Amino acid sequence: MAMSANADFKTRLQTWLPKLVLSPSLAMVLVFVYGFILFSVYLSFTDSRLLPSFGWVGWENYSKLWRLSHWEISLKNMGVFALLYIGICTVLGLSLAIFLDQKIRAEGLIRTIYLYPMALSFIVTGTAWKWFLDPGIGLENVMQSWGWVNFEFDWIKNRDFAIYTVVLAAVWQTSGFVMAMFLAGLRGIDNEILKAAQMDGASNWNLYRRIIIPQLRPAFLSAFVILSHLAIKTFDLVIALTGGGPGRATELPATFMYSYTFSRNQMGIGAASATIMLMTIAAIMIPYLYAELREKK
């Protein structure tokens, strides 16, 4: 009798244990992510300035937000930045992975060289690139001193081009990581299919286009998640590289949000911008996650 009760308890424990193990993580996420998101959404309807306060002001913060040209600039920059950053990283990462997959000598060394930027913090990257791109002391100066007197590269000082230098530094930092993800995907592809196709006389170009790249779909999706997460969070890099300038030309939503919440003591507007950003992220990510997770069932 005692034994069976014990066994009964054990079985029940076994059925509950998985959920029990998962619950601390879930609890943390519910409180520290979703709880905080709700809090932030609530703040966006209040008159919070220096610290959170709870005077309800309705949509006022949102209407102020949309009157700020500054906010529009940061949204536009986000669009340009995210598109180019994700696009270039993906194309470059895939190309380099394909090249590196051709039985290259010293592959390990080259891979390490491509990967190491990911190890550096954006503060370090930003500072190094700021130097390198500065026309007065960096590339332009060096090229001119080497005899190319007409060489010009002043993007970082140019209002219309500065955002591209942010793209450049960000691509430099993460494209190697994306390359590694694609390389891993390429190595997992079954060679028998390729050999069969080669027998049929398919060119290399067609092999990649028709057979290999379609099989890399999971790698594309992982790369997309990682890259979009990094794009959204790009903050330190802008601060270190351009400080949001020239003027406000390289402001991104993350720097906007930080500046209104903390430097300008307009926490309500900062929270409103955060809410809009979160909704945008959700609008993009939820359909993707939904499609991705459904398939696995």
- CA distances from residue 101 to 56, 89, 105, 185 in whole angstroms, order as listed: 59, 18, 10, 11
**Total Cβ atoms within 10 A of residue 108:** 9
CB of 183: closest distance to another protein in angstroms? Answer: 6
One-letter amino acid for residue 103 of the chain: K
Among 84, 156, 237, 272, binds another protein (CB under 8 A): 156
Touching another protein, residues 243-282 (CB under 8 A): 243, 245-249, 254, 257-259, 261-267, 270-271, 274, 277-278, 281-282
Of 55, 79, 200, 296, the one binding another protein (CB under 8 A) is 296
Applying CB under 8 A, among 1, 3, 5, 21 the residue interacting with another protein is 21
- Amino acid identity, residue 39? F
Q: 75 or 181, CB closer to another protein? A: 181
Q: What Rg value do the Cα atoms of the chain yield, rounded?
A: 25
Q: Is 289 in the site for another protein (CB under 8 A)?
A: yes
Number of residues binding to another protein, judged by CB under 8 A: 135
Residues 76-95 binding another protein (CB under 8 A) are none
Chosen residue from 46, 77, 90, 242 binding another protein by CB under 8 A: 242
- Looking at residues 180 to 219 of the shown chain, list those that interact with another protein (rule: CB under 8 A): 180-181, 183-189, 191, 194-195, 198, 204, 207, 217-219
Q: Least distance to another protein from the beta carbon of 257, Å? A: 5
- Of residues 132-151, those binding another protein (CB under 8 A): 132, 134-138, 141-142, 145
Q: How far is the CB of 259 from another protein (least distance, A)?
A: 7
Is 172 a binding residue for another protein by CB under 8 A? The answer is yes
150 residue type, one letter: N
d(CA 198, CA 195): 5
State in angstroms the smallest separation of the CB of 101 from another protein.
5
Closer residue to another protein in complex, CB, 83/120: 120
CB 125 within 8 A of CB 173: yes
Site string for another protein, 39-58 (x = CB under 8 A): xx--------xxxx------
How many whole angstroms separate alpha carbon 60 and alpha carbon 88? 39
The amino acid at 251: E
CB of 268 to another protein, least distance (A): 10
Task: Output the smallest distance, CB 254 to another protein, in A.
Answer: 6
